[in-house]
Each structure stands twice: as C-alpha cells, then as structure tokens.
Amino acid sequence: MRDIKFLWNRFWRWVRNILIFFFVSSILAVIAFKWVPVYRTPLMYIRCIEQYIDGKDPQIKHQWVDMNQISRHMPAAVIASEDSHFLEHNGFDEKAILQARLVALEGGKERGASSISQQTAKNVFLWQGHSWIRKGLEAYFTFLIEKIWGKERIMEVYLNSIEMGDGIYGVQACANENFHKTASELTQKDAALIAATLPNPLVYDSANPSKYMEKRRKDIIAGMNYLRNNNKDPSWGVDPATIKSEATPQEEKNNGKKNNKNSKKKKR
C-alpha cells in the first residue's frame, strides 16, 4: 500500500513539474518573440518534409521585414479577407465561430472561423491539425499573444510567417517571387490578390490568378475601402506612394526625357 502511495505521489510530482516547465517556457517564448523576429516556424519544416516525400527539393523562401517595411495595404487586405473584427475582438471572433458552428450543424460545408490571432499562434508555436489538444493549446497561445504582444505585433508576425505559396512564407518573399517587388511597394490590388490566396495558398497562386481569385480580389478591395471609410483601417505599414524611386540617376534622366517627349506629343 505504501509503495502504491509513493508511486502515485511521484507520478503527480512528475506531472506537476512538466506543467510548470511548460507554462514557464511558453510564457518566456511569447515574451521573447514580442521583440525577436520569427525566422522559422513548425509549418515550414513540416512542408519541407512533405516536399521531400513528394520527391521535390525542400525549400523555404522567407525574409523577415519589420512593419515599417510592409505596405500599409497588406494589413488592411488580410483584415478585410480573413478577420474583419481583428481590431475589436480579444483574439477570438465569437460571432464568426458561432456562425460556423450553425452552418455545420445545419449540414452545410464546414468553414474555418479562426481569427488572425489564432492563426498566428498556430503558425508560430504549434502544428497543423484539428485535434482538441491542438485547439486547446491554440487558445492558450492566442490568449498569451493578445495580452503580451498586442495587435500590431500580432499582425507583423502574421504577415511574416503566413504561408503564401509553395515554399513561400511571409509577405516579403511573396512580393519578391510573385510581383518582383519589395513588401513596401505592394499596391492595394497586389495586397488584395495575396489575401485572396490565403484560404489555400498551395492551390491559389497570386502570380497566376484565376477568375475566382480576380473576383475575390474585387470583394477584398471593397472590404478594404469599407474599413478605410469607417476609420477601421489600421495605420500600420508604409504608404507605397511615399517610397522614393530606386532608379539610378541615368535611369531617372532617361525617364525624364521620355516624359518630356510624351508631354510634347500631347501638346501637338
């Protein structure tokens, strides 16, 4: 009897120590990532394994950029597309979750209702899947990043870590690969097109948009305009219109000559 009691107490001490280690380490990790760039995520390595299994060369195209190096259109685009109440909720869009559950109960197609905060927590700290354990951990990390990071940092990490194509992660890599631009130069149309791919970036390609994606882009632009007109458009990021031309002096001179020729033709 004493042996059983001893083993039981030892078991619970072991469980207690594991829980203490988990909570302390997870909180410290969230605090660290409030300032430290997230260069790699679990999903990146999972995709590399999948690429290897499929006989492809594993690749990770990713480059971290701060929010002041990202077009201001990009946060607005993903909010309009993925989480219209991002600036208002505490990490969980209860209305969207309830609507998704009602649709599923009525026999409709099950759809995701994860907020940008939840997606960020999953991308940075967890793995893909639909198990209750992962969902519970996702809720825990979502609560932490909402309290410790704040909305702007969540958006910054989200835009740098989200999958945007096969082997492409983050807005800077996507802008380089698919638009031959930097993240700061993305226009409203570019940002809306990228946001249109996010439900399934391995199927939808912002470099070769389908008719469905073009329609989605128009809807997202309408949503972006609604946010701006109702003062719900976050002021994060840089305005592409303020970016100075990176053309060389000779190129600028040549461009100036072309503009003068065009203006003379118009006068004639």
Check residue 59 and report its DSSP letter. -
| Residue of 193, 186, 164 whose CA lies nearest to 238 | 186
**Which helix (H) or strand (E) covers residue 165, if one does?**
strand 163-165
Q: Does residue 135 surpass a pLDDT of 50?
A: yes
Lowest mean pLDDT among 35-39, 93-97, 102-106, 141-145: 102-106
Q: Please give the distance of CA 89 from its chain centroid, rounded to a whole number.
A: 17
Cβ(75)–Cβ(223) below 8 Å: no
- Give me the mean pLDDT over the 175-180 stretch: 95
Model pTM?
0.83
- Give me the mean pLDDT over the 93-121 stretch: 73
Alpha-carbon distance of 93 to 54, in angstroms, equals: 36
Lowest mean pLDDT among 95-99, 171-175, 180-184, 234-238: 95-99
Alpha-carbon distance of 91 to 150, in angstroms, equals: 10
